[in-house]
């Protein structure tokens, strides 16, 4: 399972989209589908794979690609497996650092507060976006018409691609459908050139608009912060460090330098029942 970069995600690449489903393990909507990707070294070679489009409730979007079939793992399980990679899949690294792993301590006595400076920044960025959209009203209207044409062409292109099969990197399609697909792709390319020509006349303004829209999406919902009780954080961090040192000493002295994850230590040793007998000279513990 791997995730695509934003520049690899294009609506035209998807086909055989299934019905939207809620993510079982989080706040998102999932779409199971197929995706076509071009080889980066061999020109014209097509790869087809299963993809899961993840639309998060906060507005973000991710696309996962996998060779695992839907019969083995559904879309929710694929998504969970990928985003649970740390620490569950990188076992070698996890095992090595497990006994002494100190995570950054946050959240003790935390309090949700308004983040005024971020709220002000978000307002400024939104205002800039609105101003640029007003300035670019006419070209944006032209682009909207082009996008409507493209939406129809994309639907037609997808239907034709869904009829095809990918065999050793080549598309297999009947001659009439193949001709129609090439004609549709030609029309799409023409519409995209038209859209670029419109944007070129207002190059700087469109660049500013894209930049500010991206920034607005990034800082949206970040107008709240947690204020942390740092004194309690320090106490808990000192406790964890001391406990980690004790665990390390125990593994060195009693377990012949064996490496255990902290969870394994708890379940296998620390939580075992037993009896203790004390004399003046020694303490005997039987587990």
Least confident of 24-28, 131-135, 254-258: 254-258
The domain segmentation of the chain, as residue ranges, is 2-83, 91-108+238-287, 111-226
Report d(CA 234, CA 15) in Å as an integer. 52
CB 65 within 8 A of CB 4: yes
What does the pLDDT look like over 139-188, one tens digit per residue? 999 999 999 999 999 999 999 999 999 988 899 999 999 999 999 999 99
- 7: pLDDT strictly greater than 70: yes
pTM (2 decimals)? 0.58
The number of angstroms, rounded, from the C-alpha of 162 to the middle of its chain's C-alpha atoms is: 27
Report d(CA 46, CA 173) in Å as an integer. 14
Report d(CA 35, CA 267) in Å as an integer. 44
162 closest CA partner among 170, 153, 171:
171
131 closest CA partner among 197, 212, 37:
212
- What letters, b where the CB count within 10 A reaches 16 and e where it falls short, cover 41-71? eeeeebebebbbbbeeeeeeebbbbbeeeee
- Reported as a pLDDT band with limits 50, 70 and 90, residue 55 is very high
pLDDT (0 to 100) of residue 222: 75
On the question of a cis peptide bond just before residue 133, with omega within 30 degrees of 0, the verdict is no
What does the pLDDT look like over 202-250, one tens digit per residue? 999 999 999 999 888 888 777 776 665 555 656 666 777 788 888 888 8
Give the Å distances, CA to CA, from 208 to 119, 146, 248. Answer: 20, 21, 54
Average pLDDT of every residue of the chain? 84
- 100: pLDDT strictly greater than 50: no
């Amino acid at each position: 399972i791997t995730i695509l970069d934003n520049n690899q995600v294009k609506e035209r690449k998807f086909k055989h989209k299934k019905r939207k489903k809620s993510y079982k393990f989080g706040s998102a909507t999932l779409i199971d589908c197929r995706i076509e990707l071009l080889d980066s070294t061999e020109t014209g070679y097509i790869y087809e794979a299963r993809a899961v489009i993840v639309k998060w409730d906060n507005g973000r979007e991710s696309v996962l690609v996998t060779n695992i079939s839907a019969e083995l793992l559904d879309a929710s399980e694929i998504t969970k497996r990928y985003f649970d990679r740390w620490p569950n899949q990188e076992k070698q690294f996890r095992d090595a650092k497990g006994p002494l792993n100190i995570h950054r301590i946050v959240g003790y006595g935390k309090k949700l507060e308004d983040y005024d400076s971020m709220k002000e920044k978000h307002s400024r960025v939104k205002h800039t976006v609105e101003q640029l959209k007003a300035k670019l009203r006419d070209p944006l209207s032209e682009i909207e018409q082009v996008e409507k044409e493209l939406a129809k062409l994309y639907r037609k292109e997808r239907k034709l691609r869904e009829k095809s099969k990918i065999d050793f990197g080549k598309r297999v399609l009947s001659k009439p459908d193949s001709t129609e697909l090439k004609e549709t792709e030609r029309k799409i390319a023409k519409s995209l050139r038209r859209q670029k020509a419109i944007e070129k006349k207002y190059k700087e303004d469109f660049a500013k608009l894209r930049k500010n829209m991206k920034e607005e999406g990034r800082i949206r919902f970040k107008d709240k912060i947690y204020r942390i009780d740092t004194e309690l954080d320090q106490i808990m961090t000192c406790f964890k460090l001391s406990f980690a040192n004790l665990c390390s000493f125990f593994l060195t002295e009693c377990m012949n330098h064996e490496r255990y994850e902290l969870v394994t230590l708890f379940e296998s040793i620390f939580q075992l029942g037993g009896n203790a007998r004390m004399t003046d000279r020694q303490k005997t513990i039987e587990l």
